[in-house]
Amino acid sequence: MGYGLIVAKGSKISLLQYGVIHLSKYANHALKLKKIHERITQLIEEYHPDEVALEAPFYGVNVQSMLKLGRAQGVAMAAALIRDIPITEYAPKKVKAAVTGNGNATKEQVARMLMNLLKFKVAENEMLDATDALGVAVCHVFQKGDNRKKAQSWSNFLTDNPDRLHRTSKKTKKDNE
């Protein structure tokens, strides 16, 4: 199970922490759920998030896998709800579309886009559960951003978003003299 924490200030998003809760070493599902709850609680106590975003359960071919995933999500939700932290869920296709522009993107495409956006590097196919979680966090920020007022003109947009302005200078023949 992956997790990702980001900081969003205005239109800037930065990476705070990400990782994977490795559960294969635990023998039974109840113990795995306990470990998920402990780690999510630890992350909440350490970082004090304002909100939690989760990937909504999705129906796969294997009903048992779906049931186990739903329980794990429920345990993570309970850790946040106990502390009155608001929770939002996003469908996997919504997350992929928000991050890559394509709801059918692969996990690897989402990871590459996040590495570019958040300026970090992981080896290909490594930590995909963590980058999935970061994708949900970024999707949440982008969805909240959709509620911002729209600029009435380019001038207003540039005034309201100075951090999104990229200045370049061109030397003219006169500058070189």
Report if residue 164 sits inside a domain. no
Match 């759920």 to its residue by tokens.
Answer: 33
Quote the domain boundaries for residue 88: 2-145
The reply to whether 55 sits in an annotated binding site is yes
Report if residue 14 sits inside a domain. yes
Report if residue 166 sits inside a domain. no
Task: Quote the number of domains for the chain.
Answer: 1
The reply to whether 129 sits in an annotated binding site is yes
- CA dist 10 and 148 (Å) reads 10
Q: What is the pLDDT of residues 34-88, one digit of tens each?
A: 999 999 999 999 999 999 999 987 777 788 888 888 999 999 999 999 999 999 9
Percent of the chain with pLDDT strictly greater than 70: 80
Q: What is the pLDDT of residues 94-121, one digit of tens each?
A: 999 999 999 999 999 999 999 999 999 9
Question: Backbone dihedral region of 2: left (phi > 0), alpha (psi from -120 to 50 degrees) or beta?
Answer: beta
Residues with catalytic function: 55, 129
CATH number for the domain spanning 78: value is 3.30.420.10
Strand 12-20 and strand 2-9: pairing? antiparallel
Answering whether pTM is above 0.85, one says: no
